[in-house]
Amino acid sequence: MKPILELLPLLSRPRQIAIIMHQKPDADAMGSSLALFHYFQLKHHQVAVVSPTSYPDFLKWMPGAKEVIVYESHPEKATQALQNAEIIFCMDFNAFHRARPADEALAQSAGIKVMIDHHLQPEPVFEYGLSDVQASSTAELVYEVIIGWGDKSLINNEIAQCIYAGTMTDTGSFRFAATSARVHRMVADLMDQGLRHEPIHQAIYDNFLENRLRFLGYVLSNRMEIFYEYNAALIAVPASDVRKFNLSSGDTEGLVNYPLSIQGIKLSALMVENHQEIRISLRSKGDFDVNEFARKYFNGGGHLNAAGGRSTDSLEATVARFKKALEENKALLEKPLKNP
C-alpha cells in the first residue's frame, strides 16, 4: 500500500470519485466520509458517497447527509457510483467485508482503492492508504490528510463540523485513551476557525425519541448481567426487545459503555439480535485487549479498548460462548486497574 500523499498527482485534475464507509455507519464513518466529500467538491471532482446500510437518524443533520446513497435501499445506483469511480476512498474500515452488502460491488470495481482508517491489521487490498492505529478517529486522519495535501485553507465550517462529530464520538467526548494532544490541537484549530461545538453534541446525544430512553431503562434493569468474578458485564438484547421498543438504527449506540461505569468492571459486552445475526460491541478499560478478544471469539476486531464482532449462532449460544471466553481470560481480567 503506497502512502496516501503519493496519490496527490492523480488528483491534480477533476476525477470521478466514490467514497464508501462501513456498514451500520457511526458518526466517525459518516463524518470522515462527508468531510472528504465536501473537500473534493471544493477541488472540483465529481463525488458520490455510498453507505452500505442505513444510518442513524441522529446523523441526518450532517452537512451532505442527504447526498449519501444507501446501498441496501438503492443497490443499482450505489453499484453504478462504485463502477464509475476512478478512485474509491474506503473510510473507517480496512477490509472489504466490513462494507457488506456492498462489498462485492466494491471489490469488482476497477477504481483505485484508497483506505483511510485507524483500525488494526488492514487487509492487503488497497493501492494507497493511511493506516494509523494511534489516531483517535478516521475523522482526525481526514483533517491531517487535507493539511498534508496543502489545503488547510479549504477546511470550511461544513468540513469542520463533520470532522468534529467523528472525533468527538470516537473519543467518547474526549475521554478515551486515544484522545491525544494532537486531537486537542486539532479541535482548538477548528474552533479558532469558527466551529461551534455545542450544537453538534446536542444533535448527536440529545436527539432521540422517548422509546430509546425507555429501552435503556428496561435493558439495564432486565438484560444486564454482571460477572464480578471476571470484572465483566454483558447486556444481551433479544430481537423481541428490538421489536417491542421499535428500535431504529443507532438506538443501541453507546449502550455498551454503561457497565464500565460500575466500579471494578474492566470488560463490557453488548449483544443485539437482529436480522438473523448477533451484533457484538466490546469495550474495556486498562490493558485488556478487546481487539484480540473479538478476533478470537467473535469474528471481529477493532482497537485495544473498543472492538466489535458478530455471531450467526443463537443468542443463547453466543452468550454461552462469551461466558466460556470469560473463564479462559480470567487471569487477564482479574488484574486490577492501575490508578492514575
Tens of pLDDT, residue by residue over 101-114, are 999 999 999 999 99
pTM: 0.89
Q: What is the mean pLDDT of residues 118-136?
A: 94
For 267-287, write each residue's pLDDT tens digit: 999 999 987 799 999 999 999
Cell numbers placing 182? 494532537
- Convert the pLDDT of each residue in 18-49 to its tens digit: 999 999 999 999 999 999 999 999 999 999 99
pLDDT of residue 303: 87
With a cut of 80, say whether residue 306 has pLDDT above it: yes
Taking only the tens place, the pLDDT of each residue in 185-201 is: 999 999 999 999 999 99
Tell me the residue type at 64. Answer: G
pLDDT of 309: 93
What DSSP assignment string belongs to 274-335?
ETTEEEEEEEE-TT--HHHHHHHHSS-EE-SSEEEEEE-S-HHHHHHHHHHHHHHTHHHHHS
Is 85's pLDDT higher than 90? yes
Higher-confidence position of 207 and 106: 106
CA distance 20 to 38: 14
339 pLDDT tier (thresholds 50, 70, 90): low
Hey, CA dihedral for 115, 65, 56, 198, is it positive or negative? positive
- Flag whether pLDDT at 15 surpasses 70: yes
Cell of 91: 473510510
- Rounded average pLDDT over 246-265: 92
Higher pLDDT, 304 or 325: 325
- pLDDT tens for 154-166 read 999 999 999 999 9
The DSSP element (H or E) to which 165 belongs, if any, is: helix 157-170
